[in-house]
A and B are shown apart, each in its own frame.
Chain A
Amino acid sequence: MKANCWYGKRDVRVETVPDPQILNRSDAIVRVTSTAICGSDLHLYNGLIPSMQKGDVLGHEFMGEVVEVGPAVKNLKVGDRVVVPFPIACGVCAMCTRELFSLCENSNPNAWMAEKLWGHSPAGLFGYSHLLGGYSGGQAEYARVPFADVGPIKVPEGLRDEQVLFLSDIFPTGYMGAEMCGIKPGDVIAVWGAGPVGQFAIASARLLGAERVIAIDRVPSRLALAATRAGATDTINYEEVDLQDALNDLTGGRGPDACIDAVGTEAHTHGPVYAYDRAKQALMLESDRPIALRQAIRACRNGGTVSVIGVYGGFIDKFPMGAVMNRSLTIRTGQCHVQRYLRPLLERIQAGEIDPSFVITHRLPLNEAPRGFEMFLAKTDNCEKVVLQA
């Protein structure tokens, strides 16, 4: 089959690789019909995530048709059309029974590697390094899906791929980011990053009843999308105005009730702070550039919540712990526990409350995945979200 494989920094190639096989009794094989490039795939593309190996199949946002099931699979049959969540979860361990699916204790066969880096291991993920299991991803014609009874959700008739594909990651991720804010009527939420996850965080904050949602980015087309489609009430281009001043102006000096970091490890800003973080990253003194996170902490109102859904990999520098402690801030974070959100978010899509396809700007055949990565990274042609069709 054809698959998009990682070969190194800024080097992905569509190659012919062996078809996936049923390896466990509860596996299913899915013929991928639609898959997408995620912002977190760019962290792999930029070589920031350790333990990638040449030839690894990328992709953790995918859906398709079940073509084979293992002997223990009960909920799925050949022919079912499913969306697959990006965290792999067994459904029976202590974390899964608490619905903390992205922390499944059984799905990462390389847990020891993650333990060395992070102390304890989270769940295995599709196509996201050997540290997180070494599972092949879904930017391919076929994908093996472990624990097929637990993860995949069947798609009801009448919904197009593009309407449900993002249930695999970015819609639930944005939604969880908003949910972690504990939104109450009258709340003002600021969202750093108007990429695809940021768009869904904005839309979800509105769905959850936020009074105002402020989108922060530097790309005009992304801010426009946030205002016209996601439902942001205000936008701030941080390259044009002083961000902290603008946030204080918009909130009567209080600061936003909650701040969502939908940027993560590869944040941008201007001036010496950016140079400082780039330099420290280059010298391997910090692995992540926490610029958006620092700003979010500084801006958040006293006693507010900072919700972190942007991906971080290792260590950060100049973390403003004094602001967090003295101003009673709450930090909530985590890889999305997608399985928890599939059903309720599918219902919202069916009810017409949201059409997640609004973020798509580019559709390419799987063959052109490398070009998709280039465009998404450079944001050429106002690239917001690339969907690949196998």
Chain B
Amino acid sequence: METAGTETKEARELWRGQATDADLNRQEGSARALPRAIGRAAIGLGLFGIGLGLAELLAPRRFNRLIGVSDKRRARMARLAGALGAVLGATVAGAYVASRASRRSRARLAGPVRRAITVASTPDAAYRFWRDLGNLPKFMERLESLERLASGRSRWRLRAPAGLALTWEAEIIEDRSAEIIRWQSVTGSDVANRGAVRFRPAPGSQGTEIAVELEYVPPAGALGRLASFLSNEAVEVQLERDLRRLKQLLEVGEIVQSDARIRRERERGERR
């Protein structure tokens, strides 16, 4: 718990612009150290295992002398152990590489969440759809409501797990037609956040690239414990889902539904 608290504090400092580069490096360093060590160990073990196996296969006698085994039975045992080591080592290294091959680079785990999607639409039309804030709950799954306030600000209400909700007020701080909308939350928000959405024409008249960037500080206290849905990973998936739904609205005119939805609803109904 203490670690989590420290991290939140560091993130807050980062938020206020008080964190230095050194702080940032320290934070990233600790997050990276463990997987890196596991990776090195796995690869090391793999190489060692392969080496051991190869030595056993290519020059069993000399290898046995080297490791001090002379007795015939022990030599056989050692050969078996070596071969097993090779298999085990290759297995561990193989499993590690397979799990890494589809993962994103570690650099992506720090800093703001970014997602982009290309939509068959003009930058102007896509911008106007987004700028009409009433459209946002249509494609942002977790956004329960968005209320436009007289002050020009907007009040956001986000569905959180266990029937809870997170709310904040946001103001638009940069707004250029068919180009960019940038916003940030005001003080007193459940989730301090800021972000921007950019619209630019895709090359070769392929439509419009819509790129979103989000930064946020998960809430502290009771809400914070529910904040796993606010992990960078989860937010990135949510953002991807939302952008896909936006694309469906702009291209097909409605959100495309899977039969899986009916089943989910039915199962939820049965549990109740």
Contact = CB atoms under 8 A, between A and B. Distances in A.
Interface in B226-272: 237, 240-241, 244, 247-248, 251-254, 256-263, 266
A20 interface: yes
Instruction: Give the one of A112, A115, A133 with max B CB within 10 A.
Output: A112
A88 B91 CA distance: 39
A249 to B, nearest CB: 35
Q: Chain A interface mostly helix, strand, loop or mixed?
A: loop
A90 interface: yes
Contacts of B261: 23
Contacts of A135: 258-260
B98 interface: yes
A134 B102 contact: no
Interface in A124-152: 124, 130, 133-136, 144, 146
Instruction: Give the one of B102, B118, B244 with max A CB within 10 A.
Output: B244
Interface residues of B, number: 29
A269 interface: no
A135 B256 CA distance: 11
B94 interface: yes
B256 A109 contact: yes
Contact of A111 (B91, B240, B252): B240
Given A93-B120, A133-B258, A106 B251 contact: yes
A368 B91 CA distance: 41
A304 to B, nearest CB: 28
B102 A109 contact: no
A20 B258 CA distance: 11
A107 interface: yes
Instruction: Give the one of B118, B206, B256 with max A CB within 10 A.
Output: B256
Contact of A90 (B95, B251, B262): B251
Contact of A106 (B240, B241, B252, B259): B252
A115 B95 CA distance: 20
Interface residues of A, number: 37
B33 interface: no
Contacts of B95: 283-285
Contacts of B60: none
B259 A144 contact: yes
A350 interface: no
Given A21-B262, A23-B259, A284 B248 contact: no
A287 to B, nearest CB: 9
A85 B118 CA distance: 26
Interface of A: 18, 20-21, 23-26, 55, 57, 90, 92-94, 105-107, 109-112, 115-117, 124, 130, 133-136, 144, 146, 280, 283-286, 315
Given A24-B256, A93-B247, A107-B256, 13 more contacts: A25-B253, A92-B252, A93-B251, A94-B118, A106-B248, A106-B252, A110-B260, A111-B240, A111-B241, A112-B244, A115-B240, A117-B102, A134-B258
